[in-house]
Amino acid sequence: MGRLIVVSNRVPTENPSGGLVVALHDVLMQRGGLWIGADPQICEEGRDRLHDMSDTNPDPAYRKLVFRLNAQERRNYYEGFANSVLWPVCHRRTDLVEMRSEYRADYLAVNMRLARLIARELGPDDQLWVHDYHFLPLASMLRSLGVRNRIGFFLHIPFPNITDLSVLPSPENFAEWLSDFNLVGLQTRGDTARCLEMFRADRRAEFMRDGTIKFDDHVLTLGSFPIGIDVQGVNEAARRGRSDRFGPVAPQDRIIGADRLDYSKGLPQKFRAFGRYLDQRPQIERRPTFTQIAAPSRGEVSAYKQITRELAQISGEVNGAYSELDWTPLRLIHRSVPREDVLGLCRQARVGLVTPLADGMNLVAKEFIAAQNPQDPGVLILSRFAGAAEDMTEAVQVNPHDVDEIAEAISYALAMPHGERLRRYEACAQVVWSTQISTWAERCLTRLAQCTPTLRSHISNHRIAV
Ligand code: GDG
């Protein structure tokens, strides 16, 4: 059997922590292989080869290699096409798309350069597993170089609807790029339905009896593989974590949110909803504290600067109206907090508020459940538009655009009797266990191994989709 080669935007440089990175690390430890990603440092030199970073990996079971970006590529490929075009298109925010021809040109150029670097490393039986929207055209580029190896792809973010896709320059490329993978894994059944709709609208696609799609002579398997977490690890970390660092709050009054600071996470709506709840508070003596961790992310992209200002303004207004000398109702922590403490806070909280406007899965929803004390669990309020909502039907589901509905859900959750909390928690916990991260990785890779192989004829006729 050949090696497994994982390609993701980042490779972990120290001991891996956090769900996805740990899962990929574990799979590579078992199977051996390579993990390829972008060097976080901008560098003009050495862009014609992959650099070995294995010295940051205490175990030699697999190697870590990085490719280098220069300042222009980082701006155009990463901040530009990946995060200012594809990210908003996939998160139903086409109003935020920044359309520039150099973004697309460098996105394609970086993927082509990476394909050449990878092709040099590949043995005939190696399998590639490519992660996320940074590398959509990578299989097409590799096929154009004659690579026939099995290549799997997993999209961590929502699959866009067909109208939003049409905002992309040359939207027909999207189907071409995906069709050059052997397996395309998506988070939910809803994502799979949207992806199928795209192929159905494309005359080049033929639907086969076994459920695969034939496109320009190449056979693609599609499927939903809901991602999860290391449930046991999260529960143990939550017990170790400290919540007292964030002020003395009685557990029954604590509400927690933890998100990357991103416009897809619905933070302004969530803040306004908490303000609305305070406006209408049923028991005036109740003094809940909502702690929101907003870990900074992509601060160089303008849409992210804007949302940071907006959140500071809304939290100022809510606290200005309701704070007392011994009570600050909304605590915004605009920095990254140690993972154990995030999870410790989740364990201590009566309510977890997870209200993205669009989200591939949302691991915080699963972590909140895994962190709970099963005897006295908290309540998860979950957006209908998080991928996690497809299976976690017993969370208190809300429309994240509807501030009144979220305010009502907060009130309902804070007053929820113990019996109902237990029932809802147990149903959610079952989902969290059944999709845990090791199962997810195994399901994806088993399916990849079963995919129809790429034929020589496909390679010889290959067009580069640009
Ligand atoms: C993408 C997709 C999909 C949060 N604050 C801190 C912190 N976190 C951790 C959480 C969680 C992770 O970050 C965030 O994961 P999410 O899944 O919620 O969201 P994205 O980062 O947008 O991830 C998403 C995911 O990929 C996996 O496929 O679910 O839909 O958008 O683990 O706990 N961690 C630390 N400090 C913080 O302050 N250490």
What are the phi and psi torsion angles at 48 (to 5°)?
-95, 10
Q: Which two tokens stand for residue 103?
A: 């973004």
pLDDT at 3: 92
> Quick check: is 156 catalytic?
yes
> Quick check: is 359 catalytic?
yes
pLDDT at 454: 87
Which residue in the list 39, 126, 191, 359 is annotated as catalytic?
Answer: 359
Q: How far is the CA of 261 from the centre of ligand 1 (A)?
A: 10
The atom of ligand 1 lying closest to the CA of 339 is: 39
The atom of ligand 1 lying closest to the CA of 229 is: 32
pLDDT in tens, the chain (466 residues): 789 999 999 888 766 566 578 778 888 888 889 999 999 899 889 999 999 987 766 667 899 999 999 999 999 999 999 999 999 999 999 999 999 999 999 999 999 999 999 999 999 999 999 999 999 999 999 999 999 999 999 999 999 999 999 999 999 999 999 999 999 999 999 999 999 999 999 999 999 999 999 998 899 999 999 999 999 999 999 999 876 666 777 878 999 999 999 999 999 999 999 999 999 988 888 899 999 999 988 777 777 788 888 999 999 999 999 999 999 999 999 998 999 999 999 999 999 999 999 999 999 999 999 999 999 999 999 999 999 999 999 999 999 999 999 999 999 999 999 999 999 999 999 999 999 998 999 999 999 999 988 888 888 778 765 5
Q: How far is the CA of 24 from the centre of ligand 1 (A)?
A: 15
Q: How far is the CA of 165 from the centre of ligand 1 (A)?
A: 25
Q: At what angle do helices 418-434 and 363-371 cross, to 10 degrees?
A: 120
Give the Cα separation of 51 and 44 in Å (integer). Answer: 13
pLDDT at 300: 77
Query: Hey, which of 153, 260, 307, 368 would you mutate to test ligand 1's pocket, going by the most ligand atoms within 8 Å of its Cβ?
Result: 260
Q: How far is the CA of 260 from the centre of ligand 1 (A)?
A: 6
The atom of ligand 1 lying closest to the CA of 158 is: 30
Long-range interactions of 402-409: CB distance < 8 A, separation 24+: 403/269, 403/272, 403/273, 403/276, 404/273, 404/276, 406/269, 406/270, 406/273, 406/276, 406/277, 406/353, 406/355, 406/381, 407/273, 407/274, 407/276, 407/277, 407/279, 407/280, 409/381
Q: How far is the CA of 295 from the centre of ligand 1 (A)?
A: 9
Whose Cα sits closest to atom 4 in ligand 1? 259
Whose Cα sits closest to atom 15 in ligand 1? 363
Q: How far is the CA of 228 from the centre of ligand 1 (A)?
A: 11
Lining ligand 1 with CB less than 6 A are 18-20, 156-157, 227, 258, 260, 293, 295, 336-337, 339, 342, 359-364, 367
Which residue in the list 25, 91, 131, 156 is annotated as catalytic?
Answer: 156
pLDDT at 305: 80
What are the phi and psi torsion angles at 177 (to 5°)?
-60, -50
Query: Hey, which of 361, 383, 437 would you mutate to test ligand 1's pocket, going by the most ligand atoms within 8 Å of its Cβ?
Result: 361
Alpha helices (runs of H) in 180-301, residue ranges in sequence order: 189-200, 231-240, 267-279
pLDDT at 246: 66
Query: Hey, which of 262, 362, 383 would you mutate to test ligand 1's pocket, going by the most ligand atoms within 8 Å of its Cβ?
Result: 362
pLDDT at 285: 82
Q: How far is the CA of 125 from the centre of ligand 1 (A)?
A: 33
CB atoms within 10 A of CB 217: 16
Domains belonging to the chain, first-starting first, are 4-228+439-458 (3.40.50.2000), 231-435 (3.40.50.2000)
Q: How far is the CA of 38 from the centre of ligand 1 (A)?
A: 19
Task: Kindly report, residue by residue over 64-108, the tens digit of the pLDDT.
Answer: 999 999 999 999 999 999 999 999 999 999 999 999 999 999 999
The atom of ligand 1 lying closest to the CA of 359 is: 30
What are the phi and psi torsion angles at 119 (to 5°)?
-55, -35
Whose Cα sits closest to atom 27 in ligand 1? 156
Query: Hey, which of 8, 292, 342 would you mutate to test ligand 1's pocket, going by the most ligand atoms within 8 Å of its Cβ?
Result: 342
What single string gives the DSSP state of each residue in 292-353? EEEE---TTSHHHHHHHHHHHHHHHHHHHHH-BTTB-SEEEE-S---HHHHHHHHHH-SEEE
User: How many residues appear in the chain?
Assistant: 466
Nearest one of 259, 383, 249, 413 to 329, comparing CA atoms: 249
